[in-house]
Amino acid sequence: MDNPLILDPSGRRRLAEEDVLHRSAGPVVVDVLGEKAWAIGHHDLLVQLLSDSRVSKDPRQHWPRFINGDIVGKWPLYLQVSVDNMFTAYGKDHRRLRRLVSPAFSGRRTAQLLPAIEANTDALLDALVARTPGPVDLRQSFAAQLPVAVISDLLGIPTTMRTGFRESIDRIWDTTNTADEAVQATKDAYAMLHDFVALKRSEPADDLTSALIAARDDEGDGSALTETELVDTLLLVIAAGYETTINLLDSAVTALLANPGQRELVRTGGVEWSAVVEETLRFASPVSQMPMRYAVEDIPLPTGETIRKGDAILASYGAASRDPELHGETAKIFDVTRADKRNVAFGHGVHYCLGAPLARAEAAIALPRLFERFPGLSLAVGVDELEPLPSILGNGHSTLPVHLGTASA
């Protein structure tokens, strides 16, 4: 794994890095903040590997760098691979943990959440109407607020803790952090999580956190859910529930404002809002890439390379979703009329994101309401002036300054 492509921790070279991944017929060796991995930026190859039982997400069993203690306290992304929940579980442990969480994201449960999502959206839009004239950071005042409210309601997070969790997740996803800063962000996040679990133990309610605590505490031998798994599962739901939907809303608004013709197609009913959501997921995957997966044994690839046992694999969701081999010469163009919008924005295989239907539902409600309330919505800066998130992982903007225009009734 020599001469790796060094990934820019600031996120500013993401598109150029995708070009490198696309030019190679197979995987590309990359440097992920000092750790080497095989980056997979082709759609079909990534789908193949994400479906392969020889590919694991458990570093405790299958990544020698983790097992030997080489990255503890040294690698800024240590938290992303060290959590003990369904995100990193393999085989029967993954199935056990996923079963405990999946009821909260069933189709029936998502449908029950729709009225609350609508009410939260309308309340946020009402608050925007009341803002004084001038540019508004739509990411902070709208795109971030809705998912935080939805996930907080789902988990039973009190209002007093919501801002703290939101800021904590931002710090965890910032890959410009030093190793020491990443360690401190991790400590702060866990301190909040333990306080939250203690609160819910003393004040249980009809929410996912109370249900998970019951699953943990009702089994005296800890076979259902260990304390570490409980806390790390909450961290997963909070982080994934916030970041994916925030970036989805951010990128959808940006793409529509940067492409007036596309916006007009939606406004006139030429395409449905669901098409906007799917094309945004394809064009700007909310999670650009996520470390790591590991080869359980040697995996020969159809492109001629062999991923050796213990090698790390980086799923490059953004690159694979914009793969020109799948989407042709227009792969880099935002086109809501595109017939084939296939993407891997929410992953694939056994680790496919449980919250994908909820994220889609939030966007399908929030986007039309936003554009109906503010028909004159426009960017306050040029699209090229928008600063990307300082992250190898997340794909969005640090801020999204807009002019709201006159609100409709």
Residue 206 burial by Cβ neighbours in a 10 Å radius (0-12, 13-18, 19+): exposed
Instruction: State the Cα–Cα distance between residues 262 and 266, nearest whole angstrom.
Output: 7
Strands, sheet with 28-32, edge to edge from the N-terminal-most edge strand: 5-6, 28-32, 35-40, 312-315, 290-295, 55-56
Does the residue 395 lie in any domain? Answer: yes
Does the residue 363 lie in any domain? Answer: yes
Kindly give, in sequence order, each residue whose CB lies less than 8 Å from that of residue 8, ignoring residues fewer than 6 positions away: 14, 17, 392
Tally of CB atoms within 10 A around 158: 11
Does the residue 76 lie in any domain? Answer: yes
Structurally, how many domains does the chain consist of?
Answer: 1
* CATH at 391: 1.10.630.10
Q: Whole domain around residue 287: which residue ranges? A: 5-403
Strands 5-6 and 28-32: parallel
Reading the chain (409 residues) residue by residue, the pLDDT tens digits are 678 999 999 999 999 999 999 999 999 999 999 999 999 999 999 999 999 999 999 999 999 999 999 999 899 999 999 999 999 999 999 999 999 999 999 999 999 999 999 999 999 999 999 887 789 999 999 999 999 999 999 999 999 999 999 999 999 999 999 989 999 999 999 999 999 999 999 999 999 999 999 887 765 544 578 999 999 999 999 999 999 999 999 999 999 999 999 999 999 999 999 999 999 999 999 999 999 999 999 999 999 999 999 999 999 999 999 999 999 999 999 999 999 999 999 999 999 999 999 999 999 999 999 999 999 999 999 999 999 999 999 999 999 999 999 989 7
Does the residue 103 lie in any domain? Answer: yes
Does the residue 409 lie in any domain? Answer: no
Instruction: State the Cα–Cα distance between residues 232 and 395, nearest whole angstrom.
Output: 23
Does the residue 408 lie in any domain? Answer: no
Does the residue 58 lie in any domain? Answer: yes
Does the residue 261 lie in any domain? Answer: yes
Residue 203, φ and ψ in degrees, nearest 5: -135, 70
Instruction: State the Cα–Cα distance between residues 188 and 166, nearest whole angstrom.
Output: 12
